[in-house]
Amino acid sequence: MTRRLFISYFENEKDILNATNAARENNYKILDVYTPYAVHGMDEAMGLKPSKLPWICLALGLFGAIAKLWYQVWTSATSWPVNVGGKPLSSIPAFVPVTFEVMVLFAGVGTVLTFFIISKLRPGKKPKALYPKVTDNRFALVLVQSDARFDIDEAKKIFSSFNAVEYEEKLEKEEN
């Protein structure tokens, strides 16, 4: 299935930020915004929800810490009890440094793997061709023309007030 896209190009971040806010105010469906670097406030302008990745990172870190702590207590006090210098068999303070390291390892590696799974990034995936000069010095706002009420002239009029440099219409296949 194909979709019709309307792309507006801008020269600076202030214009793309204001144009994105205007697009949301005029109920345009924003597909994506392409910028050569991160623009502060763009996620609010696009109306994106906060990411759940920090919560996943916390859960993975806690899982790693609890699993490692359980393993150390189990091996030192239950499975292989060795009395060294009269110390207690399950000396939790002695396990803190290694438990912390394993927690950081689980959180870091697990979050990266989760990000790759959620983003559908995998080895051998062909990169999606971006729009001209977006990775160098241009900013692009991509709107979906979802119905017949989408007025291109009205959109051009709105975005020209934000110093849009160029406009383009494209037909693109939807990715599943």
Could you write out the DSSP letters of every residue in 21-38? HHHHHTT-EEEEEE-SS-
Domain layout of the chain by residue ranges: 2-36+134-173, 53-119
- pLDDT, residue 175, reads 64
Question: Furthest-apart CA pair in the chain: how many Å?
Answer: 83
Tokens for 36, please give them.
Answer: 């050569």
Architecture of the structural domain at 2-36+134-173: 2-Layer Sandwich (3.30)
Q: What is the pLDDT of residues 31-46, one digit of tens each?
A: 889 988 889 999 999 9
28: left (phi over 0), alpha (psi -120 to 50) or beta: beta
CB 102 within 8 A of CB 64: yes
- pLDDT, residue 174, reads 67
Rounded Cα–Cα distance for residues 127 and 111 (Å):
22
Residue type present at position 14: K
Q: What is the pTM of this model?
A: 0.71
* Helix (H) or strand (E) segment spanning residue 112: helix 92-119
Q: Tell me what percent of the residues of the chain surpass a pLDDT of 90.
A: 43
Specify the range with the lowest mean pLDDT, choosing from 26-35, 45-54, 144-153.
144-153
* Helix (H) or strand (E) segment spanning residue 144: strand 139-144
Q: 2-10 and 29-34 as β-strands: parallel, antiparallel, unpaired?
A: unpaired
- pLDDT, residue 115, reads 92
